[in-house]
Structure 1
Amino acid sequence: MKYVILIHSNPQPWGHPTGDFIAENQALPTEQRERMNAEFEALLEELSASGELVAAEALADPSTSTLYRWQDGKPLTTDGPYSEYKEHLAGFFLVDVSGPERAQEIARVFSGPGETIELRPAMWPGGEDH
């Protein structure tokens, strides 16, 4: 089963890894941040070795985005991001795992202070969950 792990964050200034730029994460003791980073790196190595990691990308500063909306029967292009949002999509990981329990186990390690992690099943064309 494929799942996407979406990293929502609001670091100011924007940068990666996002946790390095979030006040809640910066406030943690150095030892705790180092332990969390080591756990995350170990997980990425495990996912790569097992073949569960399909793809991953960090995304650029939301201010560099372009939004496309449909208005008056044609596309309307504006600079991004959505101004009303405080959190932005910082990156994603696509994993192919045995089931929802494994996906949840992985997503928990992605969770950190000041970030929201969204776990969502991927869908095949036609709308069926697989």
Structure 2
Amino acid sequence: MKYVILIHSNPQPWGHPTGDYVAEVQAMPQEQRDTLNRDFDTLLSELQANGELAGGEALGDPADARLYRWSGGDSVVTDGPYSEAKEHLAGFFLIDVQSRERAEEVAAQFAGPGETVELRPGWSGDDG
């Protein structure tokens, strides 16, 4: 079962890893930040070693995003991302796991201070 883990963040200024730019992480003692980074690296290594990590990528500065919408029979482009939102999509990971329970277990480990993680199943095209 494939799932995408979407990392939503609100770093100011923009940069990666997002935790380095999030106020909640910046307020932590360095030792605690180092532990968070080590734990995340361990998680990624585990997912790679057992074949559950199908891919992932950090995304560029949201100021460089463009939105394309259908309006009046034509495609209209505007600057993005979603300017009305405080958070933006900072990156994603694609996992391929045996169950929703495993996907939820993994996604919970991606949720860091100052970030929101969305777990969304892939769509296979099957209705049932």
Partner of 1:56 in structure 2? 56
Per the alignment, in what secondary structure is the counterpart of residue 44 of structure 1? helix
Distance 1:14 1:34, change over 3 A: same
Q: CA deviation digits over 1:77-100, x for unaligned, max 9?
A: 111122101000000000001101
Partner of 1:77 in structure 2? 77
* Residue 28 (structure 1) shift: 1.2
Following superposition of structure 1 onto structure 2, how do residues 84-95 of structure 1 map, counting pairs within 5 Å? Answer: 84-95=84-95
Q: CA deviation digits over 1:53-82, x for unaligned, max 9?
A: 001010001010111011111100111122
Tell me, in whole angstroms, the C-alpha distance in 2 between the residues paired with 1:44 and 1:32: 19
* Residue 128 (structure 1) shift: 4.0
Q: Letter of the 1:105 partner, please give it.
A: E
Q: Letter of the 2:41 partner, please give it.
A: E
Tell me, in whole angstroms, the C-alpha distance in 2 between the residues paired with 1:42 and 1:82: 33
Tell me, in whole angstroms, the C-alpha distance in 1 between the residues paired with 2:127 and 2:24: 38
Tell me, in whole angstroms, the C-alpha distance in 1 between the residues paired with 2:68 and 2:30: 41
Q: Which consecutive residues of structure 2, in runs of 5 or more, have no partner in the other structure?
A: none
Tell me, in whole angstroms, the C-alpha distance in 2 between the residues paired with 1:127 and 1:26: 44
Partner of 1:14 in structure 2? 14
Q: Letter of the 1:94 partner, please give it.
A: L
Tell me, in whole angstroms, the C-alpha distance in 1 between the residues paired with 2:127 and 2:15: 35
Per the alignment, in what secondary structure is the counterpart of residue 69 of structure 1? strand
Tell me, in whole angstroms, the C-alpha distance in 2 between the residues paired with 1:81 and 1:55: 23
Q: TM-score, normalised by structure 2?
A: 0.95
Provide runs of 4+ in structure 1 moved above 2 Å: 126-129
Per the alignment, in what secondary structure is the counterpart of residue 67 of structure 1? strand
Q: Letter of the 2:50 partner, please give it.
A: S
Partner of 1:28 in structure 2? 28
Tell me, in whole angstroms, the C-alpha distance in 2 between the residues paired with 1:118 and 1:81: 17
Q: TM-score, normalised by structure 1?
A: 0.94
Identity %: 64
Q: Letter of the 1:98 partner, please give it.
A: Q
